[in-house]
Structure 1
Amino acid sequence: MTPHHDADFVSAMARNGTSPSVAAEIERRIEIVNAAEGSDSSRLPLSVAELTVYVGVSVAACVIGIAVVAL
Structure 2
Amino acid sequence: MSEPGYEEARDELVEVVRRLEAGGLSLEESLALWERGEALAKTCERQLAGARERIDQALAVTEEDVADA
Q: Same fold per TM (> 0.5)?
A: no
Tell me which protein shows more helix as a share of its residues.
2
Report the structure number with the largest CA radius of gyration.
Answer: 1
